[in-house]
């Protein structure tokens, strides 16, 4: 069945964000998956990880594809998959550690799911297999949920949580890597967080900017929208601004990943362009409801110069 692609002309924002390409499906082979999200790409551009879910999102698994002879392989489940909900992979710059979020139990002897923690697997080189999953532990993980790990080159870990330091609901925190250990998490403050929901933050490798989702903000388009905040010369986060209606939609837009090498923003969206109309036959009806932008969780990309 032919998939309809919708193209959006992107403009240049006054805040210096240059957008001159179109929002399109991230990779052709993703079209086969009805519900997918959470994207991370290796610095060498030859290994990617993302999450596949069922339509109601209770079942989530992380999969991997590798580029061999300039062609992406058929995605496969990662070796550390479990019967629990594994989501939100993030690959370190050297490709030797993969962080993710999971509600798997701390001990292999239990089958009972727990709250979401941040975990990681590691390897000595990119040719080796991943280790068994390792819980990142305290002070990052708590009795509350921890989500969406993103790590800067200096080892500082940015993630989502709702705890006693939250300004409202879900907030974005940083746990700094100092003396070979993570420090107590710090709330990023009101320039980024609010009394509502902020989540799914991608940190630039040099910590110069942060892209995240703000949910149902006053300047939003109706659901989750992507925002960006820059760190100024005083090492302070500036007030976050929306990436605008040429990227955001009225549906949930979330899970950003920015590839600085190709200046490409990858993100997940539940945008929907399907319309109710008089259909001539079943073929045209199915074509309309099965297009890429049909309300399912899909991964998109666009050129974005930051």
Query: What are the tens digits of pLDDT across the range 55-102?
Result: 899 999 999 999 999 999 999 999 999 999 999 999 999 999 999 999
Whole-number pLDDT of residue 34: 86
Which of 267, 195, 196, 261 minimizes the C-alpha distance to 228? 267
Q: Is the pLDDT score of 230 beyond 90?
A: yes
Which string of DSSP letters, residue by residue, matches 32-56? G-SSEEEEEE-TTSSEEEEEEE-TT
pLDDT for residue 10: 34
Q: Order of strands, edge to edge, in the sheet holding 134-135?
A: 86-91, 97-102, 117-122, 134-135
- Measured from the Cβ of residue 278, the count of other Cβ atoms closer than 10 Å reads 6
Over residues 136-157, the pLDDT tens digits come to: 999 999 999 999 999 999 999 9
Please tell me which residue, 216 or 19, carries the higher pLDDT value. Answer: 216
Comparing 148 with 20, which gets the higher pLDDT?
A: 148
Q: Report pLDDT for 229.
A: 98
The answer to whether 274 and 290 are in contact (CB under 8 A) is: no
pLDDT in tens, 251-295: 999 999 999 999 999 999 999 999 999 999 999 999 999 999 999
Chain segment 166-211, per-residue pLDDT in tens:
998 999 999 999 999 999 999 999 999 999 999 999 999 999 999 9
Percent of all residues in the chain with a pLDDT value above 70, rounded to a whole number: 93
135 sits in which H/E element: strand 134-135
Is the pLDDT score of 163 beyond 90?
no
Residue 13 has pLDDT above 50, yes or no: no
| Separation CA 245–CA 231 (nearest Å) | 23
| Collapsed DSSP state (helix, strand, coil) of residue 239 | coil
Average pLDDT on 228-248 reads: 95
For residue 4, the model assigns a pLDDT of 29
Task: Work out the mean pLDDT of the chain and round it to a whole number.
Answer: 91
Burial 1-33 (b: 16+ CB within 10 A, else e): eeeeeeebebeebeeebebebbbebbbeebeeb
Phi and psi, residue 119, nearest 5°: -125, 170
Quick one: pLDDT at residue 109? 66
The dihedral through the CA atoms of 130, 82, 161, 35 has a sign that is positive
Q: What architecture (CATH level 2) is domain 24-303? A: 6 Propeller (2.120)
Q: Give the pLDDT of residue 22.
A: 86
Average pLDDT of the segment spanning 237-245: 96
Which distant-in-sequence residues (6+ apart) come within 8 Å of 179 by Cβ? none
Beta partners for residue 256, in sequence order: none
Spans of all domains in the chain: 24-303
How many other β-carbons are positioned within 10 Å of the β-carbon of residue 101? 26
* Mean pLDDT confidence for 103-130: 91
Which residues of 163-297 form beta strands (DSSP E)?
171-175, 177-178, 181-182, 186-187, 197-203, 209-215, 224-230, 241-242, 253-259, 264-269
Residue 118: strand pairing partners: 101
Determine the pLDDT at residue 21.
56
Per-residue model confidence (pLDDT) at position 292 = 92
CA distance 27 to 48: 11
Residue 210 CB contacts under 8 Å (≥ 6 apart), including other chains: 158, 172, 188, 192, 201, 202, 203, 204, 228, 229, 231, 237, 240
């Amino acid at each position: 069945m032919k998939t309809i692609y919708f193209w959006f002309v992107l403009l240049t924002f006054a805040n210096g964000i240059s957008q001159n390409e179109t929002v399109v499906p991230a990779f052709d082979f993703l079209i086969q998956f009805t519900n997918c999200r959470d994207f991370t790409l290796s610095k060498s551009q030859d290994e990617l990880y993302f999450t596949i879910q069922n339509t109601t999102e209770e079942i989530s698994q992380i999969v991997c594809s590798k580029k061999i002879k300039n062609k992406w392989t058929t995605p496969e489940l990662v070796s550390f998959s479990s019967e629990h909900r594994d989501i939100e992979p993030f690959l370190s710059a050297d490709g030797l550690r993969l962080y993710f979020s999971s509600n798997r139990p701390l001990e292999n002897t239990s089958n009972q799911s727990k709250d979401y923690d941040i975990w990681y697997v590691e390897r000595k080189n990119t040719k080796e297999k991943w280790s068994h999953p390792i819980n990142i532990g305290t002070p990052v993980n708590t009795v509350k949920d921890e989500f969406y790990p993103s790590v800067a080159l200096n080892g500082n870990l940015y993630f989502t949580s709702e705890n006693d330091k939250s300004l409202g609901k879900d907030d974005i925190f940083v746990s700094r890597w100092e003396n070979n250990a993570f420090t107590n998490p710090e709330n990023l403050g009101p320039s980024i967080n609010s009394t509502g929901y902020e989540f799914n933050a991608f940190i630039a490798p040099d910590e110069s900017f942060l892209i995240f989702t703000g949910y149902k903000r006053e300047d939003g388009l109706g659901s989750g929208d992507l925002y960006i905040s820059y760190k100024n010369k005083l090492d302070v986060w500036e007030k976050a601004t929306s990436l605008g209606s040429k990227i955001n939609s009225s549906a949930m837009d979330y899970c950003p990943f920015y590839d600085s090498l190709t200046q490409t923003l990858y993100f997940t969206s539940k945008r929907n362009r399907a319309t109710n109309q008089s259909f001539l036959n079943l073929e045209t009806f199915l074509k309309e409801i099965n297009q890429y932008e049909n309300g399912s969780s899909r991964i998109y990309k666009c050129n974005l110069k930051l």
